[in-house]
Amino acid sequence: TFEYSHAFEYPRVLSIAGSDSGGGAGIQADLKTFAALGCYGMTAITALTAQNTLGVRAIHGVPPQMLRDQIDAVIEDIGTHAVKIGMLHAPETVLTVAEAIDRHALQKVVLDPVMVATSGAVLIDNPAVQILVRELFPRALVVTPNLDEASLLVGRPLCSEADMEAAARELLAMGAHAVLLKGGHLPGDLVCDLLLTKNGAAHWMRAPRIDTANTHGTGCTLSSAIAAHLALGATLLESVEAARTYVRAALVAGSTVRTGAGSGPLNH
Ligand code: PLP
């Protein structure tokens, strides 16, 4: 028998998010991302969705105590270097996650404020939105809304880069330490994302739009790739840039793959 003289540890990442039975978004996307980026992934499931590439058929929320138990079980034994938070369907889910962040002093928290699926399915209760802002924005290192989510949060349509910057500043004022506002839903040949931190200048990142209908799970994958790179020791800006590169590669790789009849998943 062979014994290692010292144990090797992977950087570890915990995803607190919903399950997508179709395998394209949610914790299924998160685990693929963590593994591809050399991290050990764990999950605390907030809700089950019955879902495929055409849409969400049903949502079943996990009771708060069971969510708490999942987080406590993995943190007390395995521990984590970063956390990704995705779908939180109800106010009590949000509160349970906020308490767990404090109880375990969780660091490097990436908050994807998931609200509405590409298919139009509502993934969060209305009353949970305000509680999400109040309880989780201040506890996150970065919040990663897309244009629609940011628009819902600031209460007006966002139609230009100037609108995006104004909205990102408002999201900072709501308590976020940094905002990655994803501009992929703005029309145009270039996709522009904006990273705005409390004491930093606006950092715009632009790239040519990738022509594909297979975009299901893009947001989940981006936020978990950011968390993975943070766990690996990168700075926030490095993590965001590396995560964008990862998602773009998965979009390109998935563009010629047929998975289901609807908006197919990335390939990663
Ligand atoms: N289902 C779950 C469980 C999710 O967490 C998300 C998004 O974060 C979605 C579905 C929506 O994914 P998309 O908008 O890419 O279809």
Q: Specify whether the CB–CB gap between 194 and 203 falls below 8 A.
A: yes
The predicted pLDDT at position 116 comes to 86
Q: Is residue 263 domain-resident?
A: no
pLDDT digits (tens, 9 = 90+) for 50-99: 999 999 999 999 999 999 999 999 999 999 999 999 999 999 999 999 99
> Residue 219 catalytic?
yes
Verify whether ligand 1 is closer than 6 Å to residue 251 (CB atom).
no
pLDDT digits (tens, 9 = 90+) for 191-241: 999 999 998 889 999 999 999 999 999 999 999 999 999 999 999 999 999
Q: Is residue 259 domain-resident?
A: no
pLDDT digits (tens, 9 = 90+) for 91-140: 999 999 999 999 999 999 999 999 988 788 889 888 899 999 999 999 99
Listed range (1-10, 20-29, 48-57, 191-200) with the worst mean pLDDT: 1-10
Angle between helices 218-231 and 236-254 (to 10 degrees): 140
Of the candidates 32, 84, 108, 182, the residue annotated as catalytic is 182
Q: What sign results for the dihedral spanned by CA atoms 7, 13, 18, 23?
A: negative
> Residue 182 catalytic?
yes
> Residue 260 catalytic?
no
Verify whether ligand 1 is closer than 6 Å to residue 11 (CB atom).
no
The predicted pLDDT at position 199 comes to 84
> Residue 217 catalytic?
yes
> Residue 118 catalytic?
no
Verify whether ligand 1 is closer than 6 Å to residue 184 (CB atom).
no
Q: Is residue 183 domain-resident?
A: yes
Q: Specify whether the CB–CB gap between 221 and 215 falls below 8 A.
A: no
Q: Is residue 142 domain-resident?
A: yes
Q: Is residue 215 domain-resident?
A: yes
Domain containing residue 32: CATH number: 3.40.1190.20
Residue 206 pairs in a beta bridge with 192
Verify whether ligand 1 is closer than 6 Å to residue 26 (CB atom).
yes
Instruction: Name residue, tokens 């926030």.
Output: 236
> Residue 218 catalytic?
yes
Verify whether ligand 1 is closer than 6 Å to residue 62 (CB atom).
no
Q: Specify whether the CB–CB gap between 160 and 181 falls below 8 A.
A: no
Please state the atom number of ligand 1 nearest to the C-alpha of residue 220: 8
pLDDT digits (tens, 9 = 90+) for 229-239: 999 999 999 99
Q: Is residue 130 domain-resident?
A: yes
Number of domains in the chain: 1
Q: Is residue 212 domain-resident?
A: yes
More confident: 199 or 163: 163
The predicted pLDDT at position 64 comes to 98
The predicted pLDDT at position 2 comes to 65
The predicted pLDDT at position 240 comes to 98
> What's the pLDDT band for 261 if we cut at 50, 70, 90?
very high
Q: How far apart are the first and last CA of the chain?
A: 36
Q: Specify whether the CB–CB gap between 108 and 230 falls below 8 A.
A: yes
Q: Is residue 216 domain-resident?
A: yes
Residue 180 has pLDDT above 70, yes or no: yes
Of the candidates 23, 24, 184, 219, the residue annotated as catalytic is 219
Report the C-alpha gap between 163 and 156 in whole angstroms. Answer: 10
Of the candidates 49, 215, 221, 259, the residue annotated as catalytic is 215
The predicted pLDDT at position 107 comes to 98
Summarize the confidence of residues 165-186 as an average pLDDT.
Answer: 96
| ipTM score of complex | 0.90
Q: What is the pLDDT of the chain when averaged over all its residues?
A: 95
178-182, strands of its sheet edge to edge: 55-61, 40-52, 12-20, 82-85, 109-111, 142-143, 178-182, 190-197, 203-208
Q: Domain of 60?
A: 12-254
